[in-house]
Amino acid sequence: MIQNSETRLFRAAVRSIYPDIDLRTFRELSAEATILSGLEKDILRFDEMEIPKCYKFGVLSVRDGQTTEEEWFANSNVSEPLERFLHIIGRPIELEGYKGYTAGLDTRSGESGKFSYATSWRDYEIMFHVAPLMPCRENDKQQVHRKRYIGNDIVCIVFIEGNDSQFDPDIIRSQFLHVYILVHPEIVDGKQAWRIQVMNKKNVSEYSPLIPSPSILLDEDELRGFLLLKSKSSCEKSEKKGGGISYS
C-alpha cells in the first residue's frame, strides 16, 4: 500500500515515542469507517475528558516501639518534627466552613476534626488525611473513623518518628492503599534532612520520579516537590487490586 505524506508523518511520530512498536500489525481506518463505527465520537469524548484536578493523600505517623496497625492509627498529639513536616507539604486549614477541596472531610460538625492540611500545587488541589489530627475514639481500638479516610486513599505518607521505629505495610488491611512513602527525619552535618523510602504493591509498575541516590533530601522545597509529584504519579499508575509489597 502506498502511504501518503500524512500517513508517513503519523507513523514517524508514533515510532519516535514507541521505537519498538511494530506498525505492520496495525490497520489504518478511513475517516468514513471511523464515523460509521462510532469510533470518532468515542475519540472526541476521550479528548474532552478532564485530567483530575484534585488529589487526596493519607498521612500516618509511626513511633518507637509501635508494631501494629492499631497503634499507628491511634497516634495523636502532633509532635514538633511532624508539625514541621506538615507545614512543608501543605498549609493548616480550619475545616469548619472550608470551601476548597475537602476529600470527604466533614466541614460542618467537626466529625473529622478541627484542622487539616491542604495545598495548591501546579494546577491541582490536594487535601491530606492526617490521622493524628482526626478525633481519637478511646472506645474504638481500631480507630475505624480515621482508617475510613486513609484506608480508602491510594497513597499514604508515613512519617517515621524515632530511631527504632519499624513499619510493615503488610500489617495494614486495605484494598485501596497501594503506595507507602516513608519519610525518616534525620540530622546530616548538623542540618535537618529527610530520608525517603517508597513501598509499592507488586502490581504497581515503575514510575517517575525515581528516588534520588542517596535517598536523602536536604532542601524543604525539593522534599515537597518530590513527595507531591511522586504521590500524584502513584495515583495515576496504581491499579486498584490486591498484591504484595515491593521495596525501593
Q: What is the pLDDT of residue 240?
A: 45
Q: What is the pLDDT of residue 131?
A: 97
Furthest CA-CA distance within the chain = 75
pTM here is 0.76
Mean pLDDT of 150-157: 96
Mean pLDDT over the full length of the chain: 86
Q: What is the pLDDT of residue 51?
A: 59
Q: What is the pLDDT of residue 162?
A: 84
What are the sequence ranges of the domains in the chain?
A: 5-47, 54-247
Mean pLDDT of 22-37: 72
For residue 11, what pLDDT band results from cuts at 50, 70 and 90?
Answer: confident
Residue % of the chain over a pLDDT of 70: 84
Q: What is the pLDDT of residue 246?
A: 52
Domain 54-247 superfamily per CATH:
Rap/Ran-GAP (3.40.50.11210)
Burial 157-189 (b: 16+ CB within 10 A, else e): bbbbbbeebebebeebebeebbbbbbbbbeeee
For residue 241, what pLDDT band results from cuts at 50, 70 and 90?
Answer: very low
Q: What is the pLDDT of residue 2?
A: 44
More confident residue, 238 or 231: 231
Mention every residue, 6+ apart, whose C-beta is less than 8 A from residue 3. 11
Using DSSP bridges, classify how beta strands 155-160 and 179-188 pair: parallel, antiparallel or unpaired.
parallel
Residue % of the chain over a pLDDT of 90: 57
Q: What is the pLDDT of residues 179-203, one digit of tens each?
A: 999 999 999 999 999 999 999 877 6
Using DSSP bridges, classify how beta strands 155-160 and 54-62 pair: parallel, antiparallel or unpaired.
parallel
